């Protein structure tokens, strides 16, 4: 899709914007502890299965769409996403008023709670990395340190068992102090997740699991490490990562402390989670600015009519002409790129792409979406 065609479609989509788009959002600037856990409980569905632990992203080209999105999306909207830490970079870059993270795996919600505790209790990036990877803070790091310097220092640092035990106890205590007391199964899940970060350190990747054969034995090929993802850039060489600068980190820390990142257990094609969030947003006159789907749509097209149910769920969300999907097409998809923008490769993986949500829903309603290639064909 060329730039002229994209602009023409975006202009035509303005007429599809619902009346709620022009109302003033009443999303609060802060949720109480009681409110965030209430939303988490009310919006969540029963957990489901995914074939990988997916403890961190494997999308090296995930920043490629950020400059474009910042040009069409105004701060103060609503961010929706899936998966772990890559959402932090999108959230910091797009600066929404609130964010909801859906994932079929309850473990993803638990991982976000782990991050919440670490972000809220860490003074700066170096302190955060010390707690995340259970390495004593190396000397010479400060708020001006580059991400390269930070990760070089922590890659060289030695893991500390006592620090791991101390930190894990502190995470549980902090979440309990915020009103979220984990049951035994959630404690075991978080202990497993945290142990992976402790054992692998900054070189953890999508395939890692203790004892080798990461992700429960799933996953092949060279995957980027945590360090690689945090020093990645867009196509112009700018690093938007949430740990790229101290300002980015502090923005995210404040966002978490105000309870504005709400993790939800939910299937994209499920009957509850997305629709419940949609009603909440409508009740608060809020509009979705971005929905990061990774490559989940690809899996939905492999599972009967789940892709259709997903788009019907998305259609319940309050949208406007700038509302955008963000998706990864580096997850094994072959074919269907003819109408997409020329793709830059990042370490063998393709850059992420975007499309207008209203445009795609119109195509879906017109019967023009029949397989995943149709979705990618509408992406840029």
pLDDT confidence bin for 221, thresholds 50/70/90: low
Q: How many domains does the chain have?
A: 1
Nearest alpha carbon to residue 112 among 260, 270, 229, 298? 260
Task: Measure Cα distances from 291 to 82, 245, 336, 365, 378 in Å.
Answer: 9, 24, 21, 19, 15
Whether 216 contacts 53, CB under 8 Å: yes
DSSP string, 291-310: EEEETHHHHHTTSTTHHHHH
Ranges 12-16, 57-61, 310-314, most confident: 310-314
Whole-number Cα distances in Å, 2 to 133, 160, 166, 297, 336: 44, 52, 54, 23, 16
pLDDT-wise least confident of 186-195, 315-324, 332-341 = 332-341
pLDDT surpasses 70 at 274:
yes
Contact 137, 124 (CB under 8 A): no
Q: Tell me if 1 sits within 8 A of 337, measured CB to CB.
A: no
Asked if pLDDT for residue 1 goes beyond 60, the answer is: no
Burial of 337 (0-12, 13-18, 19+ CB in 10 A): middle
Residue 318: CB atoms within 10 A of its CB come to 23
CA 17 to chain CA centroid, nearest Å: 25
Q: What is the mean pLDDT of the chain?
A: 88
Mean pLDDT of 96-124: 97
> What percent of the chain is modeled with pLDDT above 90?
79
Would the pLDDT of 348 be above 60?
Answer: no
Four-residue CA torsion sign, 233, 238, 244, 248? negative
Residue 185 domain boundaries: 3-377
Q: Are 84 and 54 in contact (CB under 8 A)?
A: yes
Share of the chain above pLDDT 70, in %: 85
Lowest mean pLDDT among 164-168, 191-195, 335-339, 340-344: 335-339
Distance between CA atoms of 240 and 227, rounded to whole angstroms? Answer: 14
* Closest C-alpha among 294, 133, 153 to residue 204: 133
Is the CA virtual torsion 252, 93, 64, 231 positive or negative? negative
Torsion of CA 313, 319, 321, 326, to 10 degrees: -60
Read off the DSSP letter of residue 22.
G
In DSSP notation, 209-238 reads: -TTSSTGGG---S---BHHHHHT---TTS-
For the stretch 318-339, pLDDT in tens is: 999 999 999 998 645 444 443 4
Query: CA 358, CA 371: separation in Å to the nearest integer?
Result: 18
Is-contact 106 53, C-beta < 8 A? no
Q: Are 57 and 81 in contact (CB under 8 A)?
A: no
Spatial CA neighbour of 241 closest among 123, 44, 86? 86
């Amino acid at each position: 899709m060329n730039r002229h065609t994209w602009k023409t479609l975006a202009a035509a989509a303005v007429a599809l914007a619902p009346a709620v788009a022009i109302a003033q959002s009443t999303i609060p600037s802060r949720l109480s502890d009681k409110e965030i856990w209430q939303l988490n409980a009310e919006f969540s569905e029963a957990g489901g299965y995914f074939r990988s632990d997916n403890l961190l992203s494997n999308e090296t080209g995930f920043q490629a769409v950020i400059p474009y999105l910042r040009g069409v999306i105004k701060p103060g909207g609503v961010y929706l996403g899936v998966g772990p830490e890559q959402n932090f970079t999108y959230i910091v870059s797009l600066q929404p008023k609130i964010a909801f993270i859906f994932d079929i795996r309850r473990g993803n919600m638990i991982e976000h709670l782990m991050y919440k505790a670490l972000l809220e209790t860490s003074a700066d990036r170096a302190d955060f990395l010390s707690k995340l990877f259970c390495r004593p803070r190396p000397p010479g790091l400060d708020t001006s340190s580059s991400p390269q310097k930070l990760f070089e220092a922590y890659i060289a640092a030695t893991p500390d068992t006592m620090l791991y035990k101390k930190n894990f106890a502190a995470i549980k205590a902090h979440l309990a102090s915020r009103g979220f007391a984990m049951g035994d199964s959630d404690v075991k899940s978080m202990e497993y997740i945290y142990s992976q970060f402790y054992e692998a350190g900054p070189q953890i990747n999508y395939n890692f699991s203790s004892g080798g054969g990461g992700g429960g034995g799933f996953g092949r090929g060279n995957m980027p490490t945590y360090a690689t993802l945090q020093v990645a850039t867009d196509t112009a060489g700018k690093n938007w990562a949430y740990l790229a600068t101290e300002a980015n980190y502090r923005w995210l820390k404040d966002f978490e402390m105000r309870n504005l990142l709400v993790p939800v257990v939910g299937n994209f094609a499920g009957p509850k989670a997305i629709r419940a969030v949609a009603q909440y947003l409508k009740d608060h006159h809020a509009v979705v600015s971005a929905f990061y789907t990774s490559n989940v749509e690809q899996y939905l097209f492999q599972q009967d009519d789940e892709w259709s149910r997903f788009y019907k769920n998305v259609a319940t969300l309050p949208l406007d002409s700038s509302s955008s999907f963000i998706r990864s097409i580096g997850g094994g998809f072959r074919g269907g790129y003819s109408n997409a923008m020329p793709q830059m490769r990042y370490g063998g993986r393709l850059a992420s792409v975007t499309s207008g949500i209203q445009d795609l829903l119109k195509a879906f309603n017109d019967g023009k979406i029949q397989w995943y290639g149709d979705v990618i064909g509408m992406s840029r």
